[in-house]
Structure 1
Amino acid sequence: MSVSTSSPEKGISVVTVDFPPVNALPVSGWYALADAVRAAGRDPRVRCVVLAAEGRGFNAGVDIKEIQTQGASALVGANRGCFEAFAAVYECEVPVLAAVHGFCLGGGIGLVGNADVIVASEDATFGLPELDRGALGAATHLARLVPQHLMRALYYTSRTATAAELHAHGSVWRVVPRDGLRAAALESAREIAAKDGELLRLAKAAINGIDPVDVRRSYRFEQGFTYEASTVGVADRVRDTFGAERDGAQA
């Protein structure tokens, strides 16, 4: 289980997440991801960061088992870890390109919603199954990917949207075959990295400065309701139901 950083070519840094079996990150994983993205962005040689993942899907959110076994401390840790990882992507000093394959759920939406560019494979799906898992949050980031009413419908139903659907809404830049995702991501990153590095950093700061929504404050507000759901017992009840249904399906 790891978060690794590589430099496949000049000006590009690739941060890769690999937490089998489904890239559901523990608390330590979110912090490791935040540190890796921030470090890549601080490197003056880097002009574009590619956020990628190994395995079956891009990201399945937080490690629910960790929260179930460790309780409130893990919930607070997951909240803070996600907050740091999402902020690291948004505040990265250079553009961040998310290369998404398979499922992108929960915390994955927080990452790609704060990314600058998204390249996705044809099999990629995006959604927030939070209500099915006793959680709330990341509507802030889903709202950056789809129109307001679609965001609400997806949030309330826990349904997912395909890469093609998000491409139609303009949030996914390119949709490519699964086996061509890495090449397409690097090609797109290369186009960005060809620009002047200092000017790119100024452009990133300028674009963030005119953003109509303060994503840090908005997401932090949502997190308060996640903690409230846990405090009153609703989260545990739903999580236990989700776990029982999942275990039954695997039996």
Structure 2
Amino acid sequence: MGVSTSRPDPGIAVVTVDFPPVNALPVRGWYDLAGAVRAAGHDPDIRCVVLAAEGRGFNAGVDIKELQRDTAAGGHGALVGVNRGCAEAFSAVYTCEVPVIAAVHGFCLGGGIGLAGNADAIVASEEATFGLPELDRGALGAATHLARLVPQHLMRALYYTSRTATADELRAHGSVWRVVPRAGLRRAALDLAREIARKDGALLRLAKAAINGIDPVDVHRSYRFEQGFTFEANLSGVADRVRDTFGAPSGAPAKEG
């Protein structure tokens, strides 16, 4: 359980998240993930990072129960911590010195969208779904990253309804590289990683910096702007009111620790 790093091939690091039952990360988990991605990218022998997960899905966002426990105790430490932790993890993926491939299976929700949306490429399994159920969870955020995966009006409709999009739908929009059977997901992600890792390492790092430099949206500033409204929702009591009725819809994974 936790975050681990392996090196299955020369030049490739696989950072794996494993927080049962649904990979809803606590505050510490987001920081651990950020540290693992940054360390892998800083390693001069690494040319590509694969971000993967064990269990039922890629990522179900934050651990809402951790937030509820803290709020019940009269504090906002967990909220501040998870907001900063998510920002750190998303930033680590985006600013990783080498390309990052997200290998997405099952559900990719909330914070998972932040991770996948900031990756350089996405390989997904056939049953993978992507969405932001934030309005159903008393939160806001990661529209910045969903907008990198789907067109603007679709992003808004998905955000307001808390609906999800399939891997095939995202591939049709050009944001998913390949859609493969679940059993072949890791292999497909590693195939792409190997192709990237065959390039000159120094040139790859320059390429990553150059591409980030021409990005039309400052993802760090945009996401932090969104988070300000999350604080407002919490301080006004709106978030607690919604979270207190928290219960996953039929067929959807619950974000829980």
Structure 1 position 188 matched with structure 2 position 188: no
Structure 1 position 70 matched with structure 2 position 74: no
Which runs of structure 2 are paired with 1:67-216 in the superposition (5 Å)? 67-71=67-71, 72-216=76-220
Name the TM-score, length of structure 1 as normaliser.
0.97
Q: Equivalents in 2 of 1:58, 1:245: separation in Å?
A: 18
Shift of 1:243: 4.1
- C-alpha spacing 1:244/1:173, structure 2 compared with 1 (3 Å): closer
Shift of 1:240: 0.4
Question: What SS does the corresponding residue of 1:135 show, helix, strand or coil?
Answer: coil
Amino acid at match of 2:54: E
Question: What SS does the corresponding residue of 2:244 show, helix, strand or coil?
Answer: helix
- C-alpha spacing 1:151/1:38, structure 2 compared with 1 (3 Å): same
- C-alpha spacing 1:95/1:163, structure 2 compared with 1 (3 Å): same
Q: Equivalents in 2 of 1:192, 1:123: separation in Å?
A: 26
Deviations along 1:118-151, one digit per CA (max 9) or x if unpaired, are 0000000000000000000000000000000000
Q: Equivalents in 1 of 2:220, 2:102: separation in Å?
A: 19
Shift of 1:245: 7.7
Shift of 1:3: 0.1
Deviations along 1:46-70, one digit per CA (max 9) or x if unpaired, are 0000000000000000000000001
- C-alpha spacing 1:134/1:192, structure 2 compared with 1 (3 Å): same
**Bigger helix fraction:** 1
1:17 maps to what in 2? 17
Name the TM-score, length of structure 2 as normaliser.
0.95
* Greater RCO (Cα-Cα under 8 Å, separation 6 or more): 2
Number of matched pairs = 247
Runs of 4+ that moved beyond 2 A: 243-246
Amino acid at match of 1:62: V
Question: What SS does the corresponding residue of 2:3 show, helix, strand or coil?
Answer: strand
Gaps of 5+ in 2: none
Shift of 1:241: 0.8
Question: What SS does the corresponding residue of 1:104 show, helix, strand or coil?
Answer: strand
Structure 1 position 37 matched with structure 2 position 41: no
Deviations along 1:190-228, one digit per CA (max 9) or x if unpaired, are 000010000000000000000000000000000000000
Q: Equivalents in 2 of 1:244, 1:195: separation in Å?
A: 44
Residue identity over aligned pairs, in percent, reads 83
Q: Equivalents in 1 of 2:193, 2:94: separation in Å?
A: 17
Gaps of 5+ in 1: none
Which of 229, 239, 243 does residue 239 from structure 1 map onto? 243
Question: What SS does the corresponding residue of 2:8 show, helix, strand or coil?
Answer: strand
Question: What SS does the corresponding residue of 1:15 show, helix, strand or coil?
Answer: strand
- C-alpha spacing 1:5/1:129, structure 2 compared with 1 (3 Å): same
Query: Relative to structure 2, which stretch is displaced further, 234-243 or 25-34?
Result: 234-243
2:48 maps to what in 1? 48
